[in-house]
Amino acid sequence: MEKEIKHAGIKLIATDVDGTLVKDSSREVSQEVIGTIQQLVDKGYYFMIASGRQYGSIRKMFAPVNRNLLYIAENGAHIIKDGQNYAVTKMKREDVTAIMAQLRGFYPEGCHVVASTDHGCFLESKDADFIHLIRDAYRNDVTLTDDILAHDVDIVKLAIYKKGSIREVGEKILVPAWKDKVKVCMAGEEWVDFMDASVDKGNAMKVVQEGLGITPQETMVFGDNENDIGLLKSAAYSYAVENAKEIVKSAAAYTCPPYWENGVLSVLKTLL
């Protein structure tokens, strides 16, 4: 279906990673994806990775083409251009303190918290499997601590994780409790993310578009989850992968095959 769409005048391409380009928590992307990105850059396209992950994680995933990429990390709280911070939006300290007080109450239920900065993350968890997930699967730069709040650092995102699913806690408790104070959203089945109220992948995309002098009509994006809705609304050529939730598909102009059928890759190749 996507081959019937005329992709005219595109200058900027952005894709989410987990659930869109690859399976959640993947360590790497295929060489075919890397090669296709390089070909697109060589043809003059700007290419951006727009993820809820930390910059360190996605930078390592796309290492062979790093110098050519733009990054939106932490759902838009951290924008990187030419390997340097382009914009960083920190959370208010009082919000971090209040949210942490609630999230710690879910530790006995098997939940774990990640506190992200623009240069790494802090974990209070002592669970070996969770530490392995964050340090080795996501390939984040990790500091273990007994108390996240004891560190004098700017937090750009808090995220709570529960293996299997945190959706019930997220949708029934956490999102209603915080949606009027900060940006809070489900980020896949196992994560709930908290950022400053101004943070959104779509807002970050607008910053980048304005900086590059590129319009939504010249932009193509891909996503799968609620935290991609703003991103999808920022582009005329917006694709939700077929495995996306219906609310996400409704925000996109088009759909493409699911990540396990390399849907994003199939659309990208139409530009070559």
Average pLDDT of adjacent 10-residue blocks, the chain of 272 residues? 73 98 93 98 98 95 94 97 96 99 98 98 98 95 98 98 97 98 92 97 98 98 96 98 97 98 98 96
pLDDT for res 3: 47
**Count of domains for the chain:** 2
Contact assessment for residue 259 and residue 243, using Cβ atoms and an 8 Å cutoff: yes
SS3 (DSSP) at 112:
strand
pLDDT for res 271: 97
Q: Containing H/E element for 72?
A: strand 69-73
Please tell me whether residues 146 and 178 are part of one structural domain.
yes
What range does the domain containing 98 cover? Answer: 93-195
Contact assessment for residue 64 and residue 33, using Cβ atoms and an 8 Å cutoff: no
Round the CA-based radius of gyration of the chain to a whole number and report it. Answer: 18
Q: Containing H/E element for 160?
A: strand 157-162
Query: Over the stretch 62-78, which tens digit does the pLDDT of each residue have?
Result: 999 998 999 999 999 99
Select from 195, 215, 250 the last residue of a domain: 195
Give the integer Cα–Cα distance in Å for 18 and 53: 9
Give the integer Cα–Cα distance in Å for 134 and 130: 6
pLDDT for res 187: 86
Per-residue DSSP letter, 92: P
pLDDT for res 188: 84
Contacts of 206 (CB under 8 A, 6+ apart): 234
Select from 138, 163, 195 the last residue of a domain: 195
Please tell me whether residues 191 and 208 are part of one structural domain.
no
Look up residue 112 and give its two tokens. Answer: 């774990």
Please tell me whether residues 105 and 183 are part of one structural domain.
yes
Contact assessment for residue 74 and residue 116, using Cβ atoms and an 8 Å cutoff: yes
Select from 143, 162, 195 the last residue of a domain: 195
